[in-house]
Amino acid sequence: MKIKAVKAYRRLLALKKPYTIARDTFYDAEIVFFEVELENGMRGMGAANTDVDVVGESADDTLTNLQSDAVMQLAGKDIRNFLPHIQLYREVFSKYPGTQAAIDMALHDAFCQCIGISVLDFYGRRHEKMLTSVTIGIKNVAETLEEAQEYYDGGFRALKVKTGREAELDAERIIKLREAYGAHFVIRVDANTGYDLSQLKTFIRLTDGQQVELIEQPFLPGMEDELLQLPMQTRAILAADESLKNTHSAFTLAQQKAFGIFNIKMMKCGGITSAFEIATIAAQAGISLFWGCNDESMVGITAALHAAFACPHTKYIDLDGSLDLMEDVAIKGFSIKDGYMMPNNLPGFGLTYL
C-alpha cells in the first residue's frame, strides 16, 4: 500500500483555563498537525506542540520542516517501510524532535490502520489501564483546593501539582490537599526546574508524611550532580523531565543515578521509536517510566498512551494534555473512567477525526 499524499497545518487551540508553571503562564496551545493519506483513503495523523525553552523548536520550525520537499517525497512510498521512513527523518531533522514526533506518529497510525491492528497491539500490550494524573498549576491554597474539588467531582484519583516558586507555600498546598481529601488523591509534584538544593530540601522536609509520590525535575538541566547529595531513597522518587531530551541524555542520566524515574515526552524525544530507545535504557538501569505531555491534541496524547502501555516498566502516566483544550481535531482515542485511562483498541490510534 502506497502513501498517496501528505500535508501539514497548524491550529491555535484555546485552553479551557490558563495555568501557571515555574517558568510561564499558558493560555493556548499552538499545535502542528501532519497527515499521511494512503491509496485506500485511510489517514494517519501526527501532531507536535513543542516547548521552545526545552527543545529549541518552534511551531514555525515544525511547520516549515513538515512542508519541506524532503517530507513531501513521502508521497508514493510504501507504507510497509514506515520504520525506515521514520529513521530517515530522524536523521534529516535530528535537531527537531517535534518534527520527528509528528512524522513518527502519522506513519505508525497509517501503517497499523492498514494492517488492522492498534499501534499498542503491534508492539505488544503490557497494561490495560492506568491512573492518569491531572494537573493543577501554581496557585494559592484556596484556588488549589477549589480546582482539586473539580477533579474530585470528576472522578479523578491522581493530581500533579505544579510547584517551584516558593517552597514553603508549595508545601502548604500539599498539606492542605491532604487535610481536605485524605488518601483519595495520589499526589505528584512538578517543580519545572524552579528549585535550588536548599529549596528542594525545605519542600521535602515540610511535606514529610504527606505521601508525595514523586517530584518532577526540581533543578535546571546540568545540575544533576547536586541531586547526588540527596539520599538514594529521595532520588528514587525524583523524575527527570527537562534534563531528559533524547537517547544520549538518557544514557548520561542513567549513569549519574540522580533520578529514579524518567518522564518520557514525545515532544522532547521525537516520537514512539525514540521513546522506546529511552525506555530500553531505563529498563537496564532499573529506572521507572513516567509518560508525560504538553498541552496537546488527542492525537499526541493517544500516541503516548499506546507507547506507555507497551512498556512493562511504565509505572506512571500524566497524559491529561488534551483535557485542557477547548477544541481538538480528533476525539475518542481513549476513555477515562474513575481516573483510569484506557485506549479504545481500534486500528492505528483508533481516533475519530472531526
**Rounded mean pLDDT, 169-188:** 98
Domain ranges of the chain: 3-116, 121-353
Rounded Cα–Cα distance for residues 136 and 129 (Å): 22
**Rounded mean pLDDT, 214-239:** 97
Burial class (CB in 10 A: 0-12, 13-18, 19+), 33: buried
Rounded Cα–Cα distance for residues 53 and 133 (Å): 24
> How confident is the model over 40-98, as pLDDT tens digits?
999 999 999 988 888 899 999 999 999 999 999 999 999 999 999 999 999 999 999 99
Where residue 26 falls among pLDDT bands split at 50, 70, 90?
confident
Instruction: Say if residue 186's pLDDT is above 80.
Output: yes
**Rounded mean pLDDT, 23-44:** 93
Rounded Cα–Cα distance for residues 105 and 89 (Å): 12
What three-state secondary structure class fits 109?
helix
Q: How far is CA 197 from CA 53, 200, 229, in A?
A: 22, 5, 9
Element (H, E) at 97: helix 97-115
> How confident is the model over 124-175, as pLDDT tens digits?
999 999 999 999 999 999 999 999 999 999 999 999 999 999 999 999 999 9
Same fold flag, 3-116 and 121-353: no
Rounded Cα–Cα distance for residues 173 and 188 (Å): 12
Instruction: Say if residue 311's pLDDT is above 80.
Output: yes
Instruction: Say if residue 18's pLDDT is above 80.
Output: yes
Q: Which CATH superfamily is domain 3-116 in?
A: Enolase-like, N-terminal domain (3.30.390.10)
Q: Which residue has the higher pLDDT, 238 or 26?
A: 238
The grid coordinates listed for 267 are: 515532544
Rounded Cα–Cα distance for residues 123 and 307 (Å): 8
The DSSP output letter for 231 is: -
Helices (H), 154-211: 167-181, 197-206
Of 68, 166, 77, which Cα lies nearest the Cα of 114? 77
> How confident is the model over 244-302, as pLDDT tens digits?
999 999 999 999 999 999 999 999 999 999 999 999 999 999 999 999 999 999 999 99
The whole-number pLDDT of residue 159 equals 98
Instruction: Say if residue 19's pLDDT is above 80.
Output: no
Task: Specify the residue for cell string 498517496.
Answer: 4
The whole-number pLDDT of residue 17 equals 83
Length of the chain in terms of residues written: 354
The whole-number pLDDT of residue 188 equals 98
The whole-number pLDDT of residue 4 equals 98
The grid coordinates listed for 34 are: 501532519
Percent of the chain whose pLDDT exceeds 70: 100
CATH code: domain 121-353 is 3.20.20.120
Q: How far is CA 51 from CA 97, 265, 329, in A?
A: 10, 11, 20
